[in-house]
Structure 1
Amino acid sequence: MMNNEFGKVISLHEAVQHIDDGCSLMVGGFGGIGSPPSLIEAILNKEVKNMTLICNDTGFPDIGVGRLVSRGRVKKAIVSHIGSNPAAGKLMHEGKLEVEFSPQGVLVERIRAGGVGLGGILVDIGVDNEWVAKGKQVIEVDGRRYLLELPLTADVSIVYAKKGDPFGNLIYDKSARNTNPYVAMAGHITIAEVEEIVPLGQLNPEEIITPGIFINHIVQSKGVNWKWAWE
């Protein structure tokens, strides 16, 4: 039996008790790659609704976070694009989904800023564009004008890792690493779905990407059910 001396390893049922109607949910992943499939399935089964989703994108209609969007569980999405999910565009145009766009690099930096406790970041992207700059504070530094982009945090962050130990130290699988390390830092509660949970001390310290100090809870992944993923 896996050692759980830190009390972080919990069931999927216990994990989704932290995710309720109206919460803000930050999800690691990029086009479905690196998003936690079992946690997303559990959220759907719990029928959580009216969430604010913070993620790189709205995924594909029937994969990853795209399933939350397509099934109308998200009231607002803070993302870099929605082009891969026709349902997101339809819901936005019908007024059923509010979308806040942020350039991909800016979005990730806003998440990182939230995770490390910064008050915001200064960017010159869109500073001279009335639509982009609307409602944002302009700050001048050494004669140059910047937009103040505010940090992003969430009630709950969920991430996906290849390996983890009972303390929550995580190793990611190649490109599935993507936004997960930043998302892990920016949740008031962070839940890691892990493919393989190994005993404490078995992970090479030089390979650990996310230290367990950022992880509140760990769940064993059930993997991707490709039947529902591609239906």
Structure 2
Amino acid sequence: MEADEGPESGRGGSGAPSEGTDSWKLYVYDLLSSVVIVALIGGLLFTASGVWPPMVAVESGSMNPEMERGDLVYVMETERFAGPDAEAGVVTAAAGEENGYERFAAPGDVIVFEPGGDSRTTPIIHRAMFWVEAGENWYDRADESAVNGDSCREIRNCPAPHAGFITKGDANRGYDQVTQGRTGPVKPEWVIGTAELYVPYLGQIRLGV
């Protein structure tokens, strides 16, 4: 028996894989597995939402208290599962007050849109308040506390330069079209999608908080 052990030991010393090689292979396997899993999850989310990327990070506190800075929001194409009385796939707060449709503790859809239709700017996540037609004097339909003026002539984007949504952050005092110079009424083609759900704090990774 002793005579047989010598050669076996010699062969084992030169041919057996080292622990370092095994560890490296395991690391590569785990890395590739993680990439594949993330890709599959991303693909499933995209398939369901119809929007890429299907998740966006909240970058300000304008939608407090329901959405806070650093939350990660799942976005869906507007026409995919439109609510009742939707306009271009979006249920406004005005319509929601009448039919009882609510999202994130208030009437109407929360939309993600490109301000001014500029894809180079950071998208805004705000609530669609009501729809206006091109040339419409919408002052009388507005919440007096959300406009900075006593008549249509004294506020921005009134009459409406084109048809679209008047929007507002839940925590903001005024409508975006009144307080911000970078966007008029939000055209349907500027809308990336509707916010469907959110994961608290997960977006902080993307924001680098």
TM bucket, shorter chain: under 0.3
When the two structures are superposed, what TM-score results if normalisation uses the length of structure 1? 0.23
More helix by share: 2
Q: Higher Cα Rg: structure 1 or 2?
A: 2
More strand by share: 1
When the two structures are superposed, what TM-score results if normalisation uses the length of structure 2? 0.25
